[in-house]
Structure 1
Amino acid sequence: MTIAGIALSAGSTIANYSAQSKIQSARNDAMAAERIRQNGLDQEAQALNTKSQDSYQDFGAKEEQKAANLAEYFTGQQVAEPSQEAALPTAANNLVIREEAKQRGKAKAFTDRTGSALGELRAFGDLLGDNSRLQARDATQIGQIGGFKRGSSNVLGYELDAANQAGGGMKMFGDILGGLGSVTMSSGLSGGSLFGLGGAGAGVPKVGTRIPVPTPRPTLGALYGGV
């Protein structure tokens, strides 16, 4: 029984080691998955941050392009034709016609210069406003990514708790083997046998054990006074 107890205890140790290995493997997988998630979210946040910083590169060239776009918009507006009542009477004199065309050209040149100047004036503010709106949007997305990172970190605790149950069945089996091994080894050390038949020294009194002496039964003569 002592040998059987040692074998059961060894089996318990192996089972517990296997259970602990499963638990550790599951915990490592959970931690690795969390690192992958966190790294992916960090890369997204870094990409947004880099895009926001790049929006201010070559600011001068972008400002010139914005001024040109605004000037084209302002100078490209078509002036509405006046109504028939407000229109100037048509003239048949060539001098009048040429003078009218000359003045219209001067007015168009003035409006073009004004539109170009207005485009240059508004280019800086418009470009800065566009960049600020894009930055605000990127900052909102970065904040959302930060929320995802916190949520993922909170979920990791539950994943680790689930990983701790990965070797539950094997651990229970190891505990059972350990209990049986302890009981069997204690019985074997106390002189028991595996099949309940006793060991080699079964039935032999131990050294120092007091052997009881049977008391003889009284005879009839002793009971009646020696008759």
Structure 2
Amino acid sequence: MPLAASGRQGEEAEHGCRQRGRRSAGAEVHQRGAISRTPPPESEAQCVRKGERTRRRILDAARRKFAEVGYKRATIRAIAAEADVDKSSVIQHVGSKDGLFREAVHWTIPFAELTTDDPGQSVENYPRGMFEVWTADPHTPMAVLLRTSMTCEDAAELWRERVTTESIEPIAATVTADNARLRAALSSAMVTGIASQRYLLGMPDLATADVEDILHLIVPRVPQPDRPQRGPRAVTIRGRVITPPA
């Protein structure tokens, strides 16, 4: 019996060695396979795309953080954590907190795309375009800049510059009526005020109103391109003639 047991033990031991040998061989093959499957170095184009994705992630995180805590309290470290990147990566892509802020909140209004041969349609497109952008993303560059401008003078100055360049001047350039710039400034203030109270502050009457109803009331007050404007006038929107209230 001891010999039989010893034989079985020897067989088991030999079997175990064979199993370990196979496992060791498999591990070696696996390791060799892992080495053989090492991906080639990234091409320049791949590196560029990866860098662009990282940059977008940093800018998105910066907008969220600036909107949440404001310009002064937001830090590069916090933004890096939000973007899930190293602090050095943020600095590499944008240089400084001020540079990051300016890039994150940079916005333009594509007036050329919004302007049509129909002046009535054009004046509808201007506020509609803004409302659609703010609806799609509460952290749009425009919304974040407006929010931070309430507590930071540098941001407020940047807001004034952007609104003048992107809104007032383009509208005024298309208006032939007297006081074109003042009309454009009033129009910009009206649309921006509605957007901020509707999307940022959530004023109940504006937040629950249908966009079409809002446009119905405000579009006749927007300066119409290339036509003299002598006070409120009727405009055609989607086939409907709209006359502003007296």
- Using structure 1 for the length normalisation, give the TM-score: 0.22
- Using structure 2 for the length normalisation, give the TM-score: 0.21
Larger radius of gyration: 1
Q: Which has the higher contact order (CA 8 A, sep 6+)?
A: 1
